[in-house]
Chains A and B, each alone.
Chain A
Protein backbone atom coordinates (compact mmCIF):
# COMPACT_ATOMS: atom_id res chain seq x y z
CA UNK A 1 0.00 0.00 0.00
CA UNK A 2 1.36 3.39 -0.94
CA UNK A 3 1.91 5.49 2.14
CA UNK A 4 1.32 9.10 1.38
CA UNK A 5 0.41 10.73 4.63
CA UNK A 6 3.11 10.95 7.26
CA UNK A 7 0.67 10.76 10.12
CA UNK A 8 -0.96 7.59 8.86
CA UNK A 9 2.50 6.16 8.46
CA UNK A 10 4.26 6.88 11.66
CA UNK A 11 1.43 6.10 13.98
CA UNK A 12 -2.18 7.02 13.89
CA UNK A 13 -3.44 9.77 16.11
CA UNK A 14 -6.72 7.93 16.28
CA UNK A 15 -7.06 4.23 15.59
CA UNK A 16 -8.70 2.65 12.57
CA UNK A 17 -12.40 2.04 12.71
CA UNK A 18 -14.12 -1.22 11.89
CA UNK A 19 -17.28 0.24 10.40
CA UNK A 20 -18.36 3.78 9.68
CA UNK A 21 -17.21 6.88 7.87
CA UNK A 22 -13.85 8.60 7.69
CA UNK A 23 -13.89 12.17 6.48
CA UNK A 24 -10.40 13.01 5.36
CA UNK A 25 -8.72 16.07 3.85
CA UNK A 26 -10.84 18.51 5.78
CA UNK A 27 -9.29 21.97 5.69
CA UNK A 28 -7.17 22.48 8.81
CA UNK A 29 -9.20 23.75 11.74
CA UNK A 30 -12.61 23.01 10.21
CA UNK A 31 -13.27 19.61 11.80
CA UNK A 32 -15.44 20.94 14.58
CA UNK A 33 -17.53 22.85 12.06
CA UNK A 34 -17.87 19.70 9.98
CA UNK A 35 -19.18 17.88 13.02
CA UNK A 36 -21.56 20.73 13.68
CA UNK A 37 -22.85 20.63 10.10
CA UNK A 38 -23.41 16.90 10.38
CA UNK A 39 -25.50 17.49 13.49
CA UNK A 40 -23.32 15.25 15.63
CA UNK A 41 -23.47 16.32 19.24
CA UNK A 42 -22.38 14.82 22.53
CA UNK A 43 -25.81 13.28 22.89
CA UNK A 44 -25.69 11.23 19.70
CA UNK A 45 -24.77 7.54 19.77
CA UNK A 46 -21.77 7.45 17.45
CA UNK A 47 -18.19 7.15 18.70
CA UNK A 48 -16.42 10.12 17.21
CA UNK A 49 -12.71 10.75 16.74
CA UNK A 50 -11.35 14.07 15.60
CA UNK A 51 -7.80 14.90 14.61
CA UNK A 52 -7.06 18.53 13.86
CA UNK A 53 -4.11 20.23 12.18
CA UNK A 54 -2.50 16.96 11.18
CA UNK A 55 0.49 17.53 8.86
CA UNK A 56 -0.36 16.70 5.26
CA UNK A 57 1.98 16.69 2.29
CA UNK A 58 -0.69 17.91 -0.12
CA UNK A 59 -2.58 20.31 2.10
CA UNK A 60 -0.01 21.53 4.60
CA UNK A 61 -2.29 20.55 7.42
CA UNK A 62 -5.65 18.88 7.49
CA UNK A 63 -8.31 17.59 9.83
CA UNK A 64 -9.78 14.11 9.98
CA UNK A 65 -13.10 12.98 11.43
CA UNK A 66 -13.86 9.31 12.09
CA UNK A 67 -17.38 8.25 12.84
CA UNK A 68 -18.08 4.68 13.91
CA UNK A 69 -21.09 2.62 12.92
CA UNK A 70 -22.64 5.30 10.79
CA UNK A 71 -22.42 5.66 7.03
CA UNK A 72 -23.08 9.17 5.91
CA UNK A 73 -25.31 9.73 2.91
CA UNK A 74 -24.20 11.81 -0.06
CA UNK A 75 -26.66 14.55 0.86
CA UNK A 76 -25.16 14.80 4.34
CA UNK A 77 -21.57 14.93 3.19
CA UNK A 78 -22.16 17.40 0.38
CA UNK A 79 -23.01 20.00 3.02
CA UNK A 80 -19.40 19.75 4.16
CA UNK A 81 -18.28 21.05 0.76
CA UNK A 82 -19.41 24.52 1.77
CA UNK A 83 -16.57 24.84 4.26
CA UNK A 84 -14.17 22.17 3.06
CA UNK A 85 -14.46 21.48 -0.66
CA UNK A 86 -11.42 19.19 -0.76
CA UNK A 87 -12.78 16.74 1.82
CA UNK A 88 -12.96 13.07 0.89
CA UNK A 89 -15.35 10.54 2.33
CA UNK A 90 -14.38 6.94 2.98
CA UNK A 91 -17.03 4.43 3.89
CA UNK A 92 -15.40 1.70 5.95
CA UNK A 93 -16.77 -1.83 6.37
CA UNK A 94 -14.87 -4.41 8.36
CA UNK A 95 -11.72 -2.22 8.36
CA UNK A 96 -11.75 -1.88 4.55
CA UNK A 97 -12.52 1.26 2.57
CA UNK A 98 -15.48 0.16 0.46
CA UNK A 99 -16.41 3.53 -1.02
CA UNK A 100 -14.36 6.65 -1.52
CA UNK A 101 -15.87 9.84 -2.84
CA UNK A 102 -15.31 13.56 -2.96
CA UNK A 103 -17.83 16.17 -1.94
CA UNK A 104 -19.85 18.32 -4.30
CA UNK A 105 -21.18 21.74 -3.44
CA UNK A 106 -24.99 21.39 -3.53
CA UNK A 107 -27.10 23.87 -5.49
CA UNK A 108 -29.50 24.40 -2.59
CA UNK A 109 -28.89 24.38 1.17
CA UNK A 110 -31.99 23.73 3.25
CA UNK A 111 -32.25 24.09 7.02
CA UNK A 112 -28.52 24.38 7.59
CA UNK A 113 -27.80 28.11 7.72
CA UNK A 114 -29.70 30.87 9.50
CA UNK A 115 -30.36 34.00 7.45
CA UNK A 116 -28.42 36.91 9.01
CA UNK A 117 -31.22 39.33 8.10
CA UNK A 118 -33.31 39.80 11.26
CA UNK A 119 -36.19 41.00 9.09
CA UNK A 120 -36.30 37.78 7.04
CA UNK A 121 -39.48 35.71 7.28
CA UNK A 122 -37.32 32.59 7.74
CA UNK A 123 -36.33 33.92 11.19
CA UNK A 124 -39.88 33.72 12.53
CA UNK A 125 -42.05 30.89 13.82
CA UNK A 126 -43.29 30.01 10.33
CA UNK A 127 -43.22 26.29 9.47
CA UNK A 128 -40.39 26.62 6.99
CA UNK A 129 -36.70 25.86 6.88
CA UNK A 130 -34.14 28.38 5.72
CA UNK A 131 -33.30 27.93 2.06
CA UNK A 132 -30.19 29.23 0.33
CA UNK A 133 -29.09 28.92 -3.28
CA UNK A 134 -25.34 28.35 -3.56
CA UNK A 135 -24.05 30.92 -6.05
CA UNK A 136 -20.51 32.01 -6.98
CA UNK A 137 -21.00 35.23 -5.01
CA UNK A 138 -22.16 33.42 -1.86
CA UNK A 139 -25.28 31.90 -0.32
CA UNK A 140 -28.43 33.62 -1.53
CA UNK A 141 -31.49 33.53 0.76
CA UNK A 142 -34.48 32.23 -1.16
CA UNK A 143 -36.85 34.37 0.88
CA UNK A 144 -35.26 37.79 1.40
CA UNK A 145 -32.42 37.84 -1.18
CA UNK A 146 -29.76 38.40 1.48
CA UNK A 147 -26.36 37.11 0.34
CA UNK A 148 -23.91 35.56 2.81
CA UNK A 149 -20.45 36.16 1.39
CA UNK A 150 -18.20 35.42 4.36
CA UNK A 151 -18.00 33.81 7.76
CA UNK A 152 -20.42 31.09 6.78
CA UNK A 153 -19.78 28.88 9.78
CA UNK A 154 -21.06 31.50 12.22
CA UNK A 155 -24.47 31.22 10.52
CA UNK A 156 -24.78 27.47 10.75
CA UNK A 157 -27.85 26.53 12.74
Chain B
Protein backbone atom coordinates (compact mmCIF):
# COMPACT_ATOMS: atom_id res chain seq x y z
CA UNK B 1 0.00 0.00 0.00
CA UNK B 2 2.85 2.42 0.68
CA UNK B 3 4.12 1.96 -2.86
CA UNK B 4 0.64 2.73 -4.15
CA UNK B 5 0.54 5.86 -2.00
CA UNK B 6 3.96 6.86 -3.28
CA UNK B 7 2.86 6.39 -6.90
CA UNK B 8 -0.35 8.37 -6.29
CA UNK B 9 1.60 11.25 -4.77
CA UNK B 10 3.85 11.27 -7.80
CA UNK B 11 0.63 11.65 -9.82
CA UNK B 12 1.12 8.24 -11.31
CA UNK B 13 -1.23 5.32 -11.73
CA UNK B 14 -0.69 1.91 -10.23
CA UNK B 15 -2.16 -1.40 -11.30
CA UNK B 16 -2.01 -3.81 -8.41
CA UNK B 17 -2.18 -7.56 -8.65
CA UNK B 18 -2.94 -8.37 -5.06
CA UNK B 19 -3.19 -12.13 -5.36
CA UNK B 20 -2.08 -14.91 -7.61
CA UNK B 21 -5.71 -15.86 -8.20
CA UNK B 22 -6.32 -12.46 -9.77
CA UNK B 23 -3.82 -12.83 -12.57
CA UNK B 24 -2.65 -15.24 -15.26
CA UNK B 25 -0.30 -16.99 -12.83
CA UNK B 26 -3.43 -18.81 -11.60
CA UNK B 27 -3.78 -20.20 -15.15
CA UNK B 28 -0.26 -21.55 -15.04
CA UNK B 29 1.59 -18.60 -16.55
CA UNK B 30 5.18 -18.31 -15.43
CA UNK B 31 6.39 -15.25 -13.57
CA UNK B 32 8.78 -14.64 -16.46
CA UNK B 33 5.85 -14.32 -18.90
CA UNK B 34 3.83 -12.18 -16.49
CA UNK B 35 6.77 -9.81 -16.16
CA UNK B 36 7.26 -9.61 -19.93
CA UNK B 37 3.59 -8.76 -20.38
CA UNK B 38 3.47 -6.21 -17.56
CA UNK B 39 6.63 -4.59 -18.94
CA UNK B 40 4.49 -3.54 -21.86
CA UNK B 41 1.87 -1.94 -19.63
CA UNK B 42 3.92 -0.14 -16.99
CA UNK B 43 6.84 2.23 -16.57
CA UNK B 44 8.15 0.30 -13.56
CA UNK B 45 7.34 -2.93 -11.75
CA UNK B 46 7.21 -3.32 -7.98
CA UNK B 47 7.19 -6.98 -7.03
CA UNK B 48 6.53 -8.85 -3.80
CA UNK B 49 6.72 -12.61 -4.26
CA UNK B 50 6.85 -15.66 -1.98
CA UNK B 51 9.94 -17.12 -3.68
CA UNK B 52 13.47 -15.95 -2.97
CA UNK B 53 15.13 -14.46 -6.01
CA UNK B 54 11.83 -13.64 -7.75
CA UNK B 55 12.78 -9.98 -8.15
CA UNK B 56 16.10 -10.91 -9.74
CA UNK B 57 14.29 -13.18 -12.16
CA UNK B 58 11.84 -10.37 -12.90
CA UNK B 59 14.71 -7.99 -13.60
CA UNK B 60 16.09 -10.46 -16.15
CA UNK B 61 12.85 -10.51 -18.13
CA UNK B 62 11.58 -6.97 -17.64
CA UNK B 63 12.24 -4.10 -20.01
CA UNK B 64 11.35 -1.55 -17.32
CA UNK B 65 12.92 -1.01 -13.88
CA UNK B 66 12.02 -3.59 -11.22
CA UNK B 67 11.88 -2.85 -7.49
CA UNK B 68 12.05 -5.70 -5.01
CA UNK B 69 9.30 -5.17 -2.43
CA UNK B 70 10.11 -8.43 -0.66
CA UNK B 71 11.04 -11.88 -1.98
CA UNK B 72 10.13 -14.77 0.30
CA UNK B 73 12.56 -15.00 3.20
CA UNK B 74 15.18 -13.22 1.11
CA UNK B 75 15.45 -9.45 1.07
CA UNK B 76 13.33 -6.34 1.52
CA UNK B 77 15.57 -3.50 0.35
CA UNK B 78 12.93 -0.75 0.11
CA UNK B 79 12.04 -1.34 3.76
CA UNK B 80 15.71 -1.04 4.60
CA UNK B 81 16.01 2.35 2.94
CA UNK B 82 13.16 3.69 5.05
CA UNK B 83 14.65 2.02 8.14
CA UNK B 84 17.96 3.80 7.54
CA UNK B 85 16.14 7.06 6.90
CA UNK B 86 14.25 6.72 10.18
CA UNK B 87 17.46 6.01 12.09
CA UNK B 88 19.13 8.99 10.41
CA UNK B 89 16.31 11.25 11.62
CA UNK B 90 17.38 10.45 15.19
CA UNK B 91 21.12 9.88 15.04
CA UNK B 92 24.04 9.51 12.64
CA UNK B 93 24.45 5.91 11.50
CA UNK B 94 27.97 5.76 12.81
CA UNK B 95 29.38 3.92 15.79
CA UNK B 96 25.95 2.75 16.87
CA UNK B 97 24.69 -0.47 18.42
CA UNK B 98 21.70 -2.01 16.69
CA UNK B 99 19.80 -4.95 18.15
CA UNK B 100 17.75 -7.19 15.87
CA UNK B 101 15.21 -9.24 17.80
CA UNK B 102 12.73 -11.84 16.62
CA UNK B 103 12.69 -14.18 13.64
CA UNK B 104 16.02 -13.41 12.03
CA UNK B 105 16.12 -16.53 9.91
CA UNK B 106 13.05 -15.92 7.78
CA UNK B 107 12.70 -12.18 8.44
CA UNK B 108 13.67 -10.53 5.16
CA UNK B 109 13.62 -7.03 6.66
CA UNK B 110 16.27 -8.12 9.16
CA UNK B 111 18.45 -9.61 6.40
CA UNK B 112 18.39 -6.45 4.32
CA UNK B 113 18.91 -4.13 7.27
CA UNK B 114 21.85 -6.17 8.57
CA UNK B 115 23.44 -6.11 5.11
CA UNK B 116 22.96 -2.36 4.80
CA UNK B 117 24.34 -1.68 8.28
CA UNK B 118 27.51 -3.55 7.35
CA UNK B 119 28.28 -0.56 5.13
CA UNK B 120 28.35 1.66 8.23
CA UNK B 121 30.26 1.55 11.47
CA UNK B 122 27.52 -0.30 13.35
CA UNK B 123 27.65 -3.20 15.77
CA UNK B 124 24.93 -5.79 15.43
CA UNK B 125 23.35 -7.55 18.40
CA UNK B 126 21.07 -10.46 17.57
CA UNK B 127 18.44 -11.99 19.83
CA UNK B 128 16.33 -14.78 18.36
CA UNK B 129 14.67 -18.05 19.34
CA UNK B 130 16.61 -21.25 18.71
CA UNK B 131 16.30 -22.23 15.07
CA UNK B 132 15.38 -18.71 13.98
CA UNK B 133 18.88 -17.21 14.15
CA UNK B 134 20.40 -15.06 11.40
CA UNK B 135 21.32 -17.40 8.50
CA UNK B 136 24.89 -18.62 8.93
CA UNK B 137 25.90 -17.62 5.40
CA UNK B 138 24.66 -14.06 5.94
CA UNK B 139 26.37 -13.82 9.33
CA UNK B 140 29.62 -15.04 7.77
CA UNK B 141 29.31 -12.55 4.92
CA UNK B 142 28.76 -9.66 7.35
CA UNK B 143 31.69 -10.77 9.51
CA UNK B 144 33.88 -10.93 6.41
CA UNK B 145 32.99 -7.29 5.79
CA UNK B 146 34.29 -6.48 9.26
CA UNK B 147 30.97 -6.16 11.04
CA UNK B 148 30.90 -7.08 14.71
CA UNK B 149 27.98 -9.40 15.41
CA UNK B 150 27.16 -10.38 18.99
CA UNK B 151 24.55 -13.04 19.73
CA UNK B 152 22.53 -12.80 22.94
CA UNK B 153 20.20 -15.24 24.60
CA UNK B 154 18.20 -12.57 26.36
CA UNK B 155 17.27 -9.00 25.40
CA UNK B 156 17.94 -7.93 29.00
CA UNK B 157 21.64 -8.58 28.41
CA UNK B 158 21.89 -5.78 25.90
CA UNK B 159 18.95 -3.39 26.33
CA UNK B 160 21.08 -0.82 28.20
CA UNK B 161 23.69 -0.69 25.43
CA UNK B 162 21.75 -0.37 22.21
CA UNK B 163 20.82 2.75 20.23
CA UNK B 164 18.33 1.06 17.92
CA UNK B 165 16.05 -1.85 18.82
CA UNK B 166 14.65 -3.42 15.65
CA UNK B 167 11.81 -5.78 16.46
CA UNK B 168 10.47 -8.35 14.00
CA UNK B 169 7.48 -10.61 14.17
CA UNK B 170 7.84 -14.22 15.22
CA UNK B 171 5.46 -16.16 13.05
CA UNK B 172 3.22 -18.74 14.63
CA UNK B 173 3.65 -21.19 11.74
CA UNK B 174 7.34 -21.63 12.60
CA UNK B 175 6.36 -23.57 15.74
CA UNK B 176 4.86 -27.05 16.07
CA UNK B 177 1.99 -25.89 18.29
CA UNK B 178 0.41 -22.79 19.80
CA UNK B 179 1.76 -23.46 23.28
CA UNK B 180 5.39 -23.45 22.21
CA UNK B 181 4.77 -20.34 20.10
CA UNK B 182 3.29 -18.41 23.03
CA UNK B 183 6.12 -19.56 25.30
CA UNK B 184 8.76 -18.23 22.96
CA UNK B 185 6.88 -15.14 21.80
CA UNK B 186 6.27 -13.92 25.32
CA UNK B 187 9.98 -13.95 26.13
CA UNK B 188 10.65 -11.67 23.17
CA UNK B 189 7.99 -9.09 24.02
CA UNK B 190 9.04 -5.46 24.34
CA UNK B 191 7.43 -3.77 27.35
CA UNK B 192 7.81 -0.40 29.15
CA UNK B 193 9.41 -2.30 32.04
CA UNK B 194 12.09 -3.72 29.73
CA UNK B 195 12.79 -0.27 28.30
CA UNK B 196 13.14 1.33 31.74
CA UNK B 197 16.90 0.74 31.68
CA UNK B 198 17.45 1.78 28.05
CA UNK B 199 19.47 4.72 26.73
CA UNK B 200 17.48 7.95 26.53
CA UNK B 201 17.90 8.26 22.80
CA UNK B 202 17.02 4.62 22.03
CA UNK B 203 14.58 4.20 19.17
CA UNK B 204 12.34 1.15 18.76
CA UNK B 205 11.58 0.20 15.16
CA UNK B 206 9.35 -2.49 13.66
CA UNK B 207 8.56 -3.13 9.97
CA UNK B 208 4.89 -3.77 10.93
CA UNK B 209 2.46 -5.39 11.11
CA UNK B 210 3.05 -6.33 14.73
CA UNK B 211 1.11 -8.91 16.65
CA UNK B 212 2.16 -9.28 20.28
CA UNK B 213 5.82 -8.49 20.11
CA UNK B 214 5.48 -4.87 21.26
CA UNK B 215 3.25 -4.02 24.19
CA UNK B 216 0.80 -1.26 23.07
CA UNK B 217 1.85 0.76 26.13
CA UNK B 218 5.22 1.27 24.42
CA UNK B 219 3.41 3.31 21.72
CA UNK B 220 3.16 6.21 24.15
CA UNK B 221 6.86 6.24 25.02
CA UNK B 222 9.37 8.49 23.22
CA UNK B 223 11.26 5.38 22.15
CA UNK B 224 8.48 4.25 19.82
CA UNK B 225 9.25 5.24 16.22
CA UNK B 226 7.55 2.47 14.27
CA UNK B 227 4.57 4.47 13.08
CA UNK B 228 6.84 7.30 12.00
CA UNK B 229 8.99 4.64 10.33
CA UNK B 230 5.93 3.37 8.49
CA UNK B 231 5.02 6.91 7.36
CA UNK B 232 8.55 7.36 6.05
CA UNK B 233 7.83 4.53 3.64
CA UNK B 234 5.92 6.87 1.37
CA UNK B 235 8.54 9.59 0.71
CA UNK B 236 11.34 7.03 0.58
CA UNK B 237 9.45 4.98 -1.99
CA UNK B 238 8.58 8.13 -3.94
CA UNK B 239 12.31 8.87 -4.09
CA UNK B 240 13.06 5.31 -5.21
CA UNK B 241 10.48 5.43 -7.99
CA UNK B 242 11.74 8.81 -9.16
CA UNK B 243 15.29 7.50 -9.18
CA UNK B 244 14.65 4.33 -11.15
CA UNK B 245 12.55 6.08 -13.77
CA UNK B 246 14.88 9.01 -14.37
Contact = CB atoms under 8 A, between A and B. Distances in A.
Contacts of A149: 137
A126 B74 contact: no
A144 B60 CA distance: 14
Given A126-B32, A128-B60, A121 B53 contact: yes
A50 interface: no
Contacts, number: 56
A147 B73 CA distance: 15
A35 to B, nearest CB: 30
A60 interface: no
A127 B51 CA distance: 15
Contacts of A146: 52, 137
B57 interface: yes
A141 interface: yes
B56 A142 contact: yes
Contacts of B129: none
A90 interface: no
A157 to B, nearest CB: 17
Nearest to A146: B137
Interface residues of B, number: 21
B101 to A, nearest CB: 23
B209 to A, nearest CB: 21
A4 interface: no
Nearest to A138: B137
Interface in B110-143: 137-138, 140
A64 B4 CA distance: 61
Contacts of A142: 53, 56
Contact of A127 (B32, B49, B56): B32
A84 interface: no
Interface string B55-77: 01100100000000001111100
A8 to B, nearest CB: 43
B30 interface: yes
A95 interface: no
A120 B52 contact: yes
Nearest to B56: A143
Contacts of A120: 51-53
B30 A119 contact: no
B184 interface: no
Contact of B140 (A117, A126, A128, A137): A137
Contact of A121 (B52, B138, B140, B144): B52
Interface of B: 30-32, 49-54, 56-57, 60, 71-75, 137-138, 140, 144
20 contacts: A117-B52, A119-B50, A119-B52, A119-B74, A120-B53, A121-B51, A121-B53, A121-B56, A122-B53, A126-B31, A126-B57, A141-B53, A143-B52, A143-B53, A144-B52, A144-B53, A144-B71, A144-B72, A145-B52, A149-B137
